[in-house]
Amino acid sequence: RLAELGPFATIADLTPDRVEAALSRLPSSYRGRTQNKYRARLRTLCRWLLRKGRLDRDPCAGVLPALERRRKYRSFTDDELRR
């Protein structure tokens, strides 16, 4: 599913600007948590590439996580409970 992030043809294409642009192109229907999962998976891949000597630096290092907005739940009113 990382392939959905964009046209990274080679490892050299993994730059901070391209990573941020790719994450910003995720569908707007994806919530912050989903966006952060994509970011985390890409970051894991980049760290592995660093350990293997395929990257000189982590292109995900400066990419900030998306805000995770929590849903607000309300309590039932007395009338709703009686129904």
| Other Cβ atoms within 10 Å of 42 Cβ, number | 20
What pLDDT shows up at residue 51?
A: 94
What pLDDT shows up at residue 19?
A: 84
Nearest to 24 by CA among 40, 8, 5, 11: 5
What pLDDT shows up at residue 4?
A: 60
Divide the 83 residues of the chain into consecutive groups of 10 and give the mean pLDDT of each group.
64 82 81 86 91 90 78 84 85
What pLDDT shows up at residue 52?
A: 94
Position of tokens 């993994």? 14
